[in-house]
């Protein structure tokens, strides 16, 4: 058999969003590469799939990627998944993919769940062109520098952050842009609590504070 790495998206919240093809691959491969074993085990148990798991994350990526590539070179197949959504998109796995390319290991990318496209298509904004910045630095001064640079980018800007920094991010946008800056906040996509907020940053901040909202989100900043 030819060694193959399947880049396999998993649901970002609602398990029903997994594709039939993803399920087929997860059941067929020799092993599964995941970020953390706990969320991977929950997903696999839900679909009654039992596979060997190898954890590849930001802490061990440099060391474990070569080991995984060596196993694949034996003719094995593996699925690479992240904790949620599409692997490698703001997630580890790039070193492994680079190794697979260098060793001519077959790489098969599967389409599937992600948080970016649902946010864009539900925003009500012109999404033909946008600037994906991704994750801001957690370090205060670097974060400020990044926001100052973003202010000069006249485009629809996509920002992602951890749930516990939502309030802080909105406050930083008010300081570096204006309280009337229009944003779209996609909160807990695919989950029962899902909500799309379309308003000024100051008004959305009030809602976040009043309801003490803490959860996964994607933010669009319309700076055109």
Q: What is the CATH number of the domain that holds 75?
A: 3.40.1010.10
**Which of 40, 75, 109 is the endpoint of a domain?**
109
pLDDT of residue 89: 86
For 57-62, the CB contacts below 8 A with 24+ separation are: 57/92, 58/92, 61/92, 61/93, 61/95, 61/96, 62/95
Number of domains comprising the chain: 2
Answer with the one of 82, 109, 136 that is the final residue of a domain.
Answer: 109
Considering the domain architecture, whether residues 188 and 212 belong to the same structural domain is answered as yes
Together in a domain, 83 and 12: yes
Q: Are residues 79 and 161 in the same domain?
A: no
Per-residue pLDDT at 45: 98
24 and 8 inside one domain: yes
> What does the pLDDT look like over 46-102, one tens digit per residue?
999 999 999 999 899 999 999 999 999 999 999 999 999 999 988 899 999 999 999
Of 5, 8, 222, 6, which Cα lies nearest the Cα of 113?
8
Query: Is 131 found in the same domain as 210?
Result: yes
Which CATH number covers residue 198?
A: 3.30.950.10
Pair type for strands 156-161 and 217-222: antiparallel
Domain co-membership, 63 together with 123: no
pLDDT of residue 90: 83
- 103 & 8 share domain: yes
77 and 105 together in one domain: yes
With a cut of 70, say whether residue 1 has pLDDT above it: no
20 and 89 together in one domain: yes
Among 74, 109, 144, residue at a domain's last position: 109
Residue 121 is part of which domain span?
116-222
At which residue do the structure tokens 């059941």 appear? 27
pTM, two decimals, is 0.91
């Amino acid at each position: 058999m030819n060694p193959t790495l399947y880049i396999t998206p998993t649901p970002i919240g609602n398990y029903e969003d997994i594709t039939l093809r993803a399920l087929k691959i997860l059941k067929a491969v020799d092993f599964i590469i995941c970020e953390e074993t706990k969320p991977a085990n929950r997903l696999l148990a839900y679909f009654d799939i039992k596979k060997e798991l190898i954890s590849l994350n930001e802490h061990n990526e440099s060391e474990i990627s070569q080991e995984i590539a060596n196993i694949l070179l034996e003719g094995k197949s593996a699925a690479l998944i992240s904790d949620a959504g599409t692997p490698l998109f703001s997630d580890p796995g790039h070193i492994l993919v680079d190794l697979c390319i260098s060793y001519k290991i077959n790489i098969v990318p599967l389409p599937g769940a992600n948080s970016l496209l649902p946010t864009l298509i539900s925003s009500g904004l012109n999404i033909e062109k946008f600037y994906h910045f991704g994750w801001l630095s957690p370090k205060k001064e670097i974060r400020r520098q990044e926001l100052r640079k973003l202010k000069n980018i006249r485009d629809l800007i996509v920002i992602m952050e951890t749930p516990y920094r939502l309030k802080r991010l909105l406050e930083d946008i008010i300081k570096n842009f204006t309280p009337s800056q229009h944003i779209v906040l996609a909160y807990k996509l695919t989950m029962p609590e899902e909500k799309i907020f379309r308003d000024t940053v100051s008004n959305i901040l009030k809602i976040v504070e009043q309801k003490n909202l803490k959860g996964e989100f994607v933010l669009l900043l319309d700076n055109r």
